[in-house]
Amino acid sequence: MKRNCWLAVFFLPLLIFSGCAFGNDHEANEPNRSLVRVKNTVDEHVENKSGQEIARRLAEIADRVPNVHNAAAIVVGKYAIVGIDVGANMDASRVGTIKYSVAEALQKDPYGANAIIVADPDLYTRVRNIGRQIDEGRPVQAFMNEIADIVGRVMPEVPSDLFETTPKPTEENDGQLNEREERQLNEQQNKQSNEHLNR
C-alpha cells in the first residue's frame, strides 16, 4: 500500500502538470506581442520571352526615337545588338546624339540595358539580315562569327585584362652602380618604404 501511495504521489502531479501544458497556447498568453508582416517582394510577373520577341521589342523602342527611320535587333543571351537607320546625309555628331537617345530609351527597358547600338549603314543592314534569317528559323549560333565581327567593329578595344596594369621596371640603369653603392641604395629605399608604412 505504501508503494501504491508513493506511486500515486509521484505520478499524480506529473499527470496534472503535463495535462495543463497540453494545449497551452503561448501566443494567447502574450497579447501585447506585435506581429510583423512583410510584403512578398518577389516579382511574380516576370515574363520569359524568346530572343526574337526581345529583339522585336528593342527594335520597336529604338524605332520610336526621333530621326530613327528604321531599327533592327538581334539578341544573343543577355546581350543585344540594335542597328538603327538614320539616313545617309547626316553628320557624325548628329548620329552620335541619336545613338545616345536610343541608348537612353533602351536603358529603361529591362532587356535593353546590355544593348550595343550601331548606326553604320552596313552594320544596320547586316543586323537586319541576320534578324530576318533568325525569324525564318535559322539558329543564332549560325551567325556567331558575323555577330563577333559586328561587335569587333563597334568596340575594337581589347578588354583591360590584356593590358598590363603595372609597367615593367626599366633595366637600362642596371649595372651602373658597383655592389656597395647598390646595397646602400637598396637600404635607403627599404628605410624610406618602412618609414612610409609606419606613418
For the chain, domain boundaries: 51-155
Q: What are phi and psi of 80, to 5 degrees?
A: -140, 150
The more confident residue out of 52 and 70 is: 70
Task: Indicate the range of 103-112, 117-126, 159-168, 189-198 predicted with least confidence.
Answer: 159-168
pLDDT in tens, 101-125: 888 888 888 877 788 888 888 888 9
Question: Is the pTM of the predicted complex or chain greater than 0.85?
Answer: no
The correct answer on CATH 3.40.1000.10 for the domain covering 51-155 is no
Q: How far apart are CA 60 and CA 48, in angstroms?
A: 18
Q: Could you give the percent of the chain with pLDDT greater than 70?
A: 63
What gap in Å lies between CA 120 and CA 85, rounded to an integer? 8
Q: Mean pLDDT throughout 159-169?
A: 55
pLDDT band (50, 70, 90) for residue 72: very high
Can you tell me the distance from the alpha carbon of 84 to that of 103, in angstroms, rounded to the nearest whole number? 11
